[in-house]
Amino acid sequence: MTPESVHKPTSRPARTNAVMLFFHHMGSPPWFYAFAGRCIPVLWVLFGVLTVTGLYLGFFKAPADYLQGESFRIMYIHVPSAWMSMMIYAGMAVMGFIALVWRIRMMEILAMCSAPVGAAFTLAALISGSLWGKPTWGTYWVWDARLTSELVLLFLYFGVMSLHSAYDDPRKGAKAACLLAVVGLVNLPIIHYSVKWWNTLHQDASIGLSGSSIHPSMLWPLLIMAIATKCFYLANLLTRARVMLLEQDSRKAWVREEVAGVRG
């Protein structure tokens, strides 16, 4: 075999087959459980390294804002949390939709496990935002469109979690909660465009697809923190999904084998 044939690029159908095979494996609980167990430590390490780097750059390298002074540094936890609150909800709704239409149990589990993490990020965004609002606006809270729609998002997360746990049959609960998640998706454009549609105290987005109005020295720590929060979400999601799988499949042979081996 020549080196050229060894390093021959993978053809498109082969790549498509590999992706299809991955998703096929994802539907198998024992495979998913083992795969998630291998990914979680890597994600935690990535989260730790990125958080330390992002906060170091944000606190010690980025200069103070000319208008807000030092208080702008709250941005490094507030903005990634707010982004995650919306991104997780969108992901949860998409997974919920797939679970409802194609009845894929793993999607149901992943959608339901996303809700508590999304709620935590929404709460973090609301609290850090109100603590940023006091020195900037002079008040912790105003009933303005952005803040109110973000609060509605928190209630939607609580609704999804409550509905899921309200049924004795976890799969029935998940179906009802997935439906609520899909319906609640309408709130995301309201949150995003609230600063454009209404006259709000909250500032307009500083980062968009066309570019950013933030200086690179302030922007890079923010982007690093944004990636760190994604690693946090994935590590948390996989941990929760493993627990839910163990609980739902407690009578199955693979769980007994797994527990006998006590792997993580």
Partner 1 sequence: MEHAFYIWCAYGACAVILAWTSIAPIIRHRRVVREQQESTKAGS
Per CB under 8 A, residues contacting partner 1 are 64, 69-71, 73-74, 77-78, 81, 116-117, 120, 123-124, 127-128, 131-132, 134-135, 232, 235-236, 239-240, 242-243, 246-247, 250, 255-256, 259-260, 262, 264
Smallest gap from residue 166 Cβ to partner 1 (A): 19
Q: How far is CA 162 from CA 112, 155, 190, 251, in A?
A: 11, 10, 23, 25
Smallest gap from residue 164 Cβ to partner 1 (A): 15
| Choice between 78 and 175, CB closer to partner 1 | 78
| Choice between 92 and 120, CB closer to partner 1 | 120
Best CA proximity match to 246, nearest among 40, 29, 41: 29
Tokens 């998640």 sit at which residue? 181
Smallest gap from residue 15 Cβ to partner 1 (A): 33
| Choice between 125 and 188, CB closer to partner 1 | 125
Best CA proximity match to 149, nearest among 189, 119, 179, 111: 189
Smallest gap from residue 251 Cβ to partner 1 (A): 9
Query: How many residues make up the chain in this entry?
Result: 264
| Choice between 123 and 185, CB closer to partner 1 | 123
Tokens 């509905």 sit at which residue? 163
| Choice between 12 and 251, CB closer to partner 1 | 251
Compute how many other C-beta atoms are within 10 angstroms of the C-beta atom of residue 129: 22
What whole-number distance in Å separates Cα of residue 136 and Cα of residue 134? 6
